[in-house]
Amino acid sequence: MRVTLPPLHRGLVISAALIGLLLVLPVLGMPQNWLLYLFLFFLYLPMANMWNLLAGYSGLISLCQAAFIGLAGYTLIMLSWLGIPFYLGIIAGAIVAAAFALLISVPVFRLRGIYFAIGTLVVPEALRIIFLLWRPVGGALSGGGAGYVLKGASEVSMRELYWFTLVIAAASVLLMRVVLRSRLGLGLAAIRDNDTTAAGCGVDVFRLELSAFVISALVTGSAGAVFYIYQAHIEPVSAFSIRWTMTLILATVIGGMRTEEGPIIGTVVVVFLHFLLASYAGISLLIQGIILVAMMLVAPQGIVGFLGRVSAYRSLRQFVQTSLAHRPPRLISPAQDS
């Protein structure tokens, strides 16, 4: 007797099998360079998912994601100086990032549209200046500014970092599916379309936007903390750099905003560009900006949207051709016959 699983259960089985395979890849002796590629993919994916949640599904063009990443990294490294285990440092970094998002939500949520984007863009720059002037912990500085090294970084292997990021990436994908199918997701969609109308219909605009903002900071901060375990050093200029936000925007826009598959496809492209542009470090940000503008002009809905249009066009053309092939013969009137 043949047993057929419902589509939902089939998807869960396939997802579980894929995650299981990804978990055992390092044990099976995967080459280190491929392990690094997958590590970066799993690192950028949750960040891109969270920016998609804000900009794509909530209508909040947030440019302060670097603030969450930098704060989580500093929290992790400062706790390492106190001998706190790394996994607790990751959790603490995520909580600090979420608490900071809650703190700045009061002033920035008073802004709308482009003013919200500009207001959030100022936040990482302010933190960069603060951490350049402030020494969070004692001891000798490493490098310029207020940079610090991670104590005990050699104790964490690349395999463990890979597993950390895989768990965060899988959790972010699952979280997106749950949020978008919940009342929170429906409310965010209404706010994105027209926040005034949504408020008039009884939607608590501030609470829902705040929920999305804090969730985004929590997940982004956890991924950022893992990155600084890998880098084993932090300093303000790179920690609060606009490059972080540029990478997340690039991954989301290239893949396709307001789609669950978009950040996944876009992150693959971003990781490829990361290694391709490694030898052009001085102008890599400019090149990424050109690619982003070109993508928005050629395919404003991203790769997923472009493929959807192509698929729809092919289906429509096939339908028309099939209809014409089976069209009944045209009747000839007596006047035309004569």
**Helix/strand/coil percent split, the chain, to 5:** 75, 0, 25
pLDDT in tens, 71-94: 999 999 989 988 899 999 999 999
How many of the other CB atoms lie within 10 Å of CB of 252?
A: 28
Contacts of 14 (CB under 8 A, 6+ apart): none
Among candidate residues 65, 89, 91, the one with its CA nearest the CA of residue 78? 89
Domains of the chain, by residue range, sit at 7-240
pLDDT given for residue 188 in this prediction = 87
Cβ–Cβ < 8 Å for 222, 93: yes
pTM summary value = 0.84
pLDDT given for residue 313 in this prediction = 56
pLDDT given for residue 213 in this prediction = 95
pLDDT given for residue 335 in this prediction = 46
What is the pLDDT tens value at each position of the chain, 338 positions in all? 454 555 555 667 777 888 888 888 888 877 888 899 999 999 999 999 999 999 989 889 999 999 999 999 999 998 998 889 999 999 999 999 999 999 999 899 988 888 999 999 999 999 998 888 776 665 555 544 567 888 887 888 889 999 999 999 999 999 999 998 898 888 888 888 887 888 888 888 889 999 999 999 999 999 999 999 999 989 898 899 988 998 999 999 999 888 889 999 999 999 998 888 877 767 777 888 888 888 878 877 888 887 877 766 567 667 656 665 555 545 444 444 44
pLDDT given for residue 74 in this prediction = 93
> How far apart (Å, rounded) are the C-alpha atoms in residues 57 and 259?
9
Among candidate residues 77, 237, 75, 95, the one with its CA nearest the CA of residue 153? 77
Question: Structure tokens of 245?
Answer: 């936000």
